[in-house]
A and B are shown apart, each in its own frame.
Chain A
């Protein structure tokens, strides 16, 4: 089934914004979407895949290299021609074994030809694209450990069964989950650049609209896709424009100081909070076609960049998003 069009998603502005920001600047480092059941988390992620602009890569390269020189030798590619391909969005299913994630000995070749060859895994496939983990909080611990390392270093190292291979694995990590079913380890939380909390809309008109669009989508898929095609294309164009504008964006020292003060006041661990907040704010300014970074941008992206980096307070029922918003008001006035 074709994914639901991104632009047709009703409401959920923060989630949509977070996803667009990672599409503008991949180095922000991914999105974590936490929310109740039936709020359209996975719908949004799958919609994003269709929205992303295509990338240029060498045809048949297992790690989607941009240049012929970067194609790993173990790929044994004869011809190295570049072609345009959709940004890879790779699903990491919950039960995936370590072999499938990192890659392993190619059993088919080993059995039929007696060759020792490497069969790339999901991490290779996701290079330069997105790695999506649904129910990320239920992921097995050993897979989490592995991901933490790769997401940090951008390189996948396989040392097993007599294979010794390393290949680039830079991807945007997108996770979704239901917080009722388990928390994420702080270390993994920290690897996600942005985090958003989604709830189902409370406004009855909005709910009706969701149902209406979903019904139309299922009833007459082609007509519905056609109807939203233009809107999706407009978002894609805006993402591309914003990517170009990102380099020209001015960042004053004053804003940098604001960023630091904000993170200090919130007591977020490490410097990753500052960096992500800055990057997200810049991407947001570029998205809005503004030429300089201001406090207004910080204010809008601070909750999503910082809420998962705070120390957990079990008594705070309002959630850390409100805590961030409160501190933002205090610091930025």
Chain B
């Protein structure tokens, strides 16, 4: 190909070419971890997968730990009379194709991440079929894969018309051997300057993790090795940065103003003498060309996705209680419960054959007959009413809120709702009713409620948030319903500072949202209040203007908003 000494030549590579290039680099250096391919299942993806070893092991997110790590093969052990161990899929080096990677639960991702960290030549091809932007592979996993390629815009025609030889790749992909590590030659070492350059560029793109520059470094070496070069050239660095850094960028670096004293023609002659003399700016250009247009939106989506933390009990396994589902074949592992009838039914047709085969009378049940009970469980919901008890209208509002709470509770037999009530007034918030389903207790607790004073909205939200967190730990799904008619005028520290009060409330709203607590803002004022609408927006919550709401309407609209 024509020698492109300058300029972001990776621009000439489309996503498909990048994908094949990434596969080649991965074959050279398994230390690159792997590649994440975002594409729906289809001919394009199949074409790419064909370039991977056809015998590559395939895994899916629901795979059992035993299959991954190996363990005792109980069935074989029992029939053989001595211990038979199974080797896990993760124990051998080589490529591993993970389908439906976006569905990988966080624990599964952690397992894979650990295996990748061991650095034993395991590489992961994660196929991300996410349809929505916020449906993506767990960051723990994507962080450890050097390349991310989006194939969703590639059509089959594009693949056929690749002019052979662009990007210096062989016209036909190495058959199957796309993945036998071709460590024929030593990877070249990287000069000091290139190393600094890569680190700087990663920093300029706002990439915090130090894995990114390390990947770029490895990719540059692998790229040089791919082209049978003993030394890293500017092109290697540029390609490597574009391939490994672009998707991690959290910042779009501004192009530097052109300096007049550097005459461009001189530079190109320079490059020929010293192949590494390439300004950061040019590499950044190459990366910038790959940055998605909606980078900021994406980052926001990622932020919103964060913090669906579990590890403290929110995750529901849901296979011990709840509504029964049809049983399925399965193994008797730790938490599983045998569906005896289902198992017998599955074994029944085989009895004669098995009796004949073994010559033994009696019931023959094999591990393949086991049927495991499954349950679907909806976690209980907790509605945290956060009621403004300030000002003049406090008494009526509180009374209506009480009414709504009681109404909702009386329907709680049908729905699995728990209710809590937080009131805020004066300078602080108070938990009037801890989460409960008991109507009697509620009536007693809510008998006398004081009102009046300022509006410490943020304090109310904080108390509600504390309750929500506790509820999440217990496995409930909390929703905070905020009832107020006015602006916050008391800050969290109790000072009567409108401005600070408003910013505190916004801040609390962000905390609630980033912790994944659902919310609902009910404006009981006579006129809709802009500040409350904004608050609802920050909370990612529904905004319901309900002037002069009575208990009946209140409970109805809450129920509707929650989608019953």
Q: A: which residues have CB within 8 A of B?
A: 1, 36-40, 42, 93-95, 97-98, 107-108, 111-112, 134-141, 144, 178, 180-185, 199-201, 204, 207-208, 210-212, 214-215, 218-219, 314-315
Tell me whether B106 and A107 are in contact (CB under 8 A). no
Q: Enumerate the 10 nearest inter-chain pairs by beta-carbon distance, A residue then B residue, closest first.
A: A182-B309, A38-B209, A182-B311, A38-B211, A137-B311, A95-B65, A314-B511, A108-B83, A208-B199, A135-B110
B118, B217, B465, most chain A CB atoms within 10 A: B217
- Picked from B189, B196, B209, B508, the residue with its CB within 8 Å of the CB of A314 is B508
Question: Is residue B49 contacting chain A, with contact meaning CB distance below 8 A?
Answer: no
Q: Which residues of A contact B81 (CB under 8 A)?
A: 111-112
- Picked from B72, B106, B139, B309, the residue with its CB within 8 Å of the CB of A183 is B309
Q: Which residues of A contact B458 (CB under 8 A)?
A: 315
Q: Which residues of B contact A184 (CB under 8 A)?
A: 311-312
| Cβ of B102 to closest chain A Cβ, rounded Å | 16
A107 to B73, CA, bound (A): 11
Tell me whether A207 and B312 are in contact (CB under 8 A). no
A204 to B280, CA, bound (A): 14
| Cβ of B495 to closest chain A Cβ, rounded Å | 14
- Picked from A37, A42, A204, A214, the residue with its CB within 8 Å of the CB of B143 is A37
Also in contact, A315 and B508, with CB within 8 A (given A95-B111, A182-B309): yes
Tell me whether A94 and B82 are in contact (CB under 8 A). no
Q: Which residues of A contact B508 (CB under 8 A)?
A: 314-315
Tell me whether B199 and A178 are in contact (CB under 8 A). no
Question: Is residue B313 contacting chain A, with contact meaning CB distance below 8 A?
Answer: yes
Tell me whether B507 and A178 are in contact (CB under 8 A). no
Question: Is residue B195 contacting chain A, with contact meaning CB distance below 8 A?
Answer: yes
- The chain A residue sitting closest to B77, CB to CB, is A111
Q: Which residues of A contact B50 (CB under 8 A)?
A: none
Question: Is residue B262 contacting chain A, with contact meaning CB distance below 8 A?
Answer: no
Tell me whether B210 and A182 are in contact (CB under 8 A). no
- Picked from A183, A199, A211, the residue with its CB within 8 Å of the CB of B214 is A211
Tell me whether B117 and A42 are in contact (CB under 8 A). yes
A41 to B175, CA, bound (A): 39
Q: Which residues of B contact A42 (CB under 8 A)?
A: 117
- Picked from B214, B307, B492, the residue with its CB within 8 Å of the CB of A315 is B492
- The chain A residue sitting closest to B493, CB to CB, is A315
Q: Which residues of B contact A93 (CB under 8 A)?
A: 69, 111, 114
Tell me whether B309 and A137 are in contact (CB under 8 A). yes
Also in contact, A94 and B473, with CB within 8 A (given A38-B209, A112-B82, A208-B196): no
Tell me whether A37 and B195 are in contact (CB under 8 A). no
Tell me whether A200 and B65 are in contact (CB under 8 A). no
- Picked from A38, A107, A135, the residue with its CB within 8 Å of the CB of B72 is A107
Tell me whether A1 and B465 are in contact (CB under 8 A). no
Also in contact, A94 and B111, with CB within 8 A (given A183-B312, A185-B473, A314-B511): yes
Q: Which of B339-395 contact A (CB under 8 A)?
A: none
Tell me whether B507 and A315 are in contact (CB under 8 A). yes
User: How many cross-chain pairs have Cβ atoms below 8 Å apart between A and B?
Assistant: 133
| Cβ of B287 to closest chain A Cβ, rounded Å | 17
Offer 19 A-B interface pairs, CB within 8 angstroms, sorted by A: A38-B210, A95-B68, A95-B107, A107-B77, A112-B82, A112-B83, A137-B311, A137-B312, A138-B107, A180-B307, A180-B309, A181-B306, A181-B307, A182-B309, A200-B210, A215-B217, A314-B511, A315-B462, A315-B511
Question: Is residue B208 contacting chain A, with contact meaning CB distance below 8 A?
Answer: yes
Question: Is residue B213 contacting chain A, with contact meaning CB distance below 8 A?
Answer: yes
A39 to B69, CA, bound (A): 27
Tell me whether A111 and B312 are in contact (CB under 8 A). no
| Cβ of A159 to closest chain B Cβ, rounded Å | 17
- Picked from B120, B199, B203, B210, the residue with its CB within 8 Å of the CB of A40 is B210
Q: Which of B241-269 contact A (CB under 8 A)?
A: none
A315 to B462, CA, bound (A): 9
Tell me whether A215 and B203 are in contact (CB under 8 A). no
Q: Which residues of A contact B307 (CB under 8 A)?
A: 180-182
Q: How does the 8 Å CB contact mask read for B453-474 relative to A, with 1 for contact and 0 for none? A: 0000010001001000000010
- Picked from A36, A94, A185, the residue with its CB within 8 Å of the CB of B208 is A36
- The chain A residue sitting closest to B72, CB to CB, is A107
Q: Which residues of B contact A210 (CB under 8 A)?
A: 210
Question: Is residue B91 contacting chain A, with contact meaning CB distance below 8 A?
Answer: no
A30 to B546, CA, bound (A): 54
Q: Which residues of A contact B312 (CB under 8 A)?
A: 137, 141, 182-185
Also in contact, A204 and B200, with CB within 8 A (given A93-B114, A219-B189): yes
A218 to B190, CA, bound (A): 12
Q: Which residues of B contact A108 (CB under 8 A)?
A: 83
A39 to B210, CA, bound (A): 7
- Picked from B202, B310, B462, the residue with its CB within 8 Å of the CB of A138 is B310
- The chain B residue sitting closest to A10, CB to CB, is B210
Tell me whether B214 and A180 are in contact (CB under 8 A). no
A111 to B82, CA, bound (A): 7
Tell me whether A38 and B208 are in contact (CB under 8 A). yes
Q: Which residues of A contact B492 (CB under 8 A)?
A: 315
Tell me whether B190 and A38 are in contact (CB under 8 A). no
- Picked from A98, A138, A315, the residue with its CB within 8 Å of the CB of B106 is A138
Extra inter-chain contacts (6) besides given A200-B208, A314-B508, CB under 8 Å: A38-B212, A182-B312, A208-B200, A211-B210, A215-B190, A314-B511
Also in contact, A214 and B214, with CB within 8 A (given A37-B140, A314-B508): yes
| Cβ of B463 to closest chain A Cβ, rounded Å | 11
A37, A39, A40, most chain B CB atoms within 10 A: A37
Question: Is residue B178 contacting chain A, with contact meaning CB distance below 8 A?
Answer: no
B65, B69, B199, most chain A CB atoms within 10 A: B199
Question: Is residue B174 contacting chain A, with contact meaning CB distance below 8 A?
Answer: no
Q: Which residues of A contact B72 (CB under 8 A)?
A: 107
Question: Is residue B504 contacting chain A, with contact meaning CB distance below 8 A?
Answer: yes
Tell me whether B209 and A36 are in contact (CB under 8 A). yes
Tell me whether A211 and B69 are in contact (CB under 8 A). no
Q: Which of B295-348 contact A (CB under 8 A)?
A: 306-307, 309-313, 334
Tell me whether B82 and A204 are in contact (CB under 8 A). no
